[in-house]
Amino acid sequence: MSLLDAIRGPRDLRELSGAELATLAGEVRSFLIRNVSRTGGHLGPNLGVVELTIALHRVFDSPHDPIIFDTGHISYVHKILTGRQGAFPTLRQADGLSGYPCRAESGHDWVENSHATTSLSWAEGLAHAFQLRGEDRTVVAVIGDGALTGGMAWEAMNNIAVQAGLKLVIVVNDNGRSYTPTVGGIATHLSSLRTDRRYEETLKVIKQRVRSAPVVGGPLYDLMHGFKTGVKDILAPQGLFSDLGLKYVGPIDGHDIWMLERAFESARNYGGPVIIHAMTIKGKGFRAAEEDEADRFHAVGTIDEETGEPLTANPKRTWTDAFRDEIVAIARDNPSVVGITAAMLHPTGLDAFARAYPDRVFDVGIAEQHAVTSAAGLSLGGLHPVVALYSTFLNRAFDQLLMDVALHRQGVTFVLDRAGITGPDGASHHGVWDTSLLTIVPGVHLAAPRDEPRLVEALRAAVAIEDAPSVIRYSKEALPPVLEAVERRGAVDILTRTADPQVLVVAHGAFAALGVEVGRRMGAQGIPATVVDPVWALPVSRDLVDLCRDHRLVLTLEDAGVSGGLGARLAQEVADAGVWTPVRNLGVPQAFHAQGTRAEVLERIGLTAQALARTAVELAVSCDGTVRGEVEGVSPTAAE
């Protein structure tokens, strides 16, 4: 029986010897590699925090002392040590173990955080609540150097610094990376401590002296802090954290359990906010990850657990691939086009642009708000920025989009990857919120292309818009087959057309082919339908409104939130034009949808061809009793 098999909770760690802890760390890494290689997930980040998480659970009394991870994808080791080993074969699968902290899974999970830079605000608020309630509890926040590029973290730090009695320990997990190497001034500061040879020499002395120091209370803290002050004076005179008034320990070896424990014990007993700076190696213990300079196996699909090679070939061209190629072509033709991303250079496809024109692409770190307002400034200065983000992360910069870009009528293009239902990362990563936000932005242009030729057209058109924001959204999936229109009517593409159509199906983006199938099934039920792609969903074109006038019922399909979405905006425009054709919207119900494959989630919420066709027929019958067709008993769960 392995040591790991005997760990059912954090208390089981307390009696292990130093040698046993080293063995346990190795077993945890083997467990991670074996399981995550089969399910996919965030492998590299978790391999880097094995010793750190073990030490946290030996020193702090979770869940009495909350441990908050920023972001939650580094919580796999925490899950293993809190009794969830047996669920790892279901990691990130429908009804299985979440890839992030999950309060429904365990009382050890306090915050279900999966957007970066939030942990310090959570921790400050929670620690302040305990303080006001007179509860003797310490809150721990584990935050990466990548997350420290986000402004929200520093807003929290500014407030934490003035609360001297707050029992809060901030652990900086410094691996020099988010997806790829961390960028910006914060990263440069931390890097100077990591790489200066004088620090390496001093670290040896610190380790020798600390190992002989008292292990609890002030003496150890004073010793370590004193050493840090000396190192800081030599290597980092500005004292980034100390100058804020925060007590600082480090940098220390994030893979030395003994040293981590001594630092954690001292910080716990200090009685106020303390920052512990731990240097770790992303992907540690897995050779393929350690040698991969691109992202250290940040997130993987199913892979060979020995070599790290993917087990499922993905030869299909993706939307990201199409954007990657076209933005380089656009940049070559138009020197005013520049690119911006927030620590997502490779995942969003801006990497090829950066290689071709390195001076014209800016990775601002995990700082979406800054990215958007910086883009407004670039536009004001005569350039055309293309901001590439995941759809879910645009939420974080809505005010900047509204007040800095749209209000100032700046020509900025937003390219939203991973739009719609995305799958295994769960509720926080489904890109279903952007359209509901964008429909209230005055002047915004939004396209959801149905295939690659339409993506190319939309990108070319977007970078020519100089007096308003433009948005292009698409899925993470493989590109669908090209779907040609049978007719272009004004600004609208007619995808299918029948004699004497009764129903107009307006199918947006990824749901265009689905709309064609729904129309075919409606026709088989005796309800002729026209299926259209509006090409540009916003602003709503007069041509689309006129088409609505020519039909008895309009159904909209969208891979996004149905409340306040593109269909709802069309319904408003139709009513404002004095057109009395009823508009019914079908899309993603406004809820937090659990993880699963995209197909599983879509089936769960009734967004399949069969379910939508039945719903469409039922709606058609309810609007006009003369419409032919028998309806099987299916409730329109996806309709608003």
Tokens of 48: 């880097």
Residue 460 and residue 494 in one domain: no
Residue 336 belongs to what domain range? 319-473
- Residue 478 in any domain: the answer is no
- Residue 35 in any domain: the answer is no
Residue 493 and residue 562 in one domain: yes
Residue 210 and residue 121 in one domain: yes
- Residue 434 in any domain: the answer is yes
DSSP symbol at 525: T
Query: How far is it, in rounded angstroms, from Cα 404 to Cα 547?
Result: 35
Give me the residue label for tokens 């790991």. Answer: 4
- Residue 482 in any domain: the answer is no
Residue 398 and residue 451 in one domain: yes
- Residue 546 in any domain: the answer is yes
- Identify the bridge partners of residue 172 per DSSP, sorted by sequence position: 143, 277
Residue 452 and residue 492 in one domain: no
Residue 143 and residue 180 in one domain: yes
| Single-letter code of the amino acid located at 639 | A
Distance spanning both ends of the chain, measured CA to CA? 55
**173 or 182: which leads in pLDDT:** 173
- Residue 295 in any domain: the answer is no
| Pairing label, strands 168-174, 274-279 | parallel
Query: How far is it, in rounded angstroms, from Cα 273 to Cα 172?
Result: 13
Listed residues 473, 496, 514: the one ending a domain? 473
Count of Cβ atoms closer than 10 Å to residue 95 Cβ: 9
Residue 259 and residue 112 in one domain: yes
Q: What is the pLDDT of residues 33-55, one digit of tens each?
A: 888 888 888 888 888 899 999 99
**What percentage of the chain exceeds 90 in pLDDT?**
56
Q: What is the pLDDT of residues 330-353, one digit of tens each?
A: 999 999 999 999 988 999 999 999
Catalytic residue ranges:
282, 368, 396
Tokens of 53: 């998480």
For the cut 60, the answer to whether the pLDDT of residue 195 exceeds it is: no
Q: What is the pLDDT of residues 582-600, one digit of tens each?
A: 999 999 999 999 888 999 9
Residue 565 and residue 447 in one domain: no
Number of domains in the chain: 3
Residue 273 and residue 125 in one domain: yes
Residue 442 and residue 547 in one domain: no
Residue 379 and residue 262 in one domain: no
Query: How far is it, in rounded angstroms, from Cα 544 to Cα 70?
Result: 45
Tokens of 598: 């995209």
**What percentage of the chain exceeds 70 in pLDDT?**
82
Listed residues 442, 473, 504: the one ending a domain? 473
Query: How far is it, in rounded angstroms, from Cα 539 to Cα 447?
Result: 9
Query: How far is it, in rounded angstroms, from Cα 65 to Cα 172?
Result: 18
3-state secondary structure 128-149: HHHHHHCCCCCEEEEEECCHHH
Residues 46, 289: contact at Cβ < 8 Å? no
- Residue 219 in any domain: the answer is yes
Listed residues 473, 503, 536: the one ending a domain? 473
Residues 105, 84: contact at Cβ < 8 Å? yes
Tokens of 624: 């006009």
Residues 42, 116: contact at Cβ < 8 Å? no
Q: What is the predicted pLDDT for the residue at 94?
A: 86
Residue 226 and residue 139 in one domain: yes
- Identify the bridge partners of residue 492 per DSSP, sorted by sequence position: 489
605: domain CATH number?
3.40.50.920
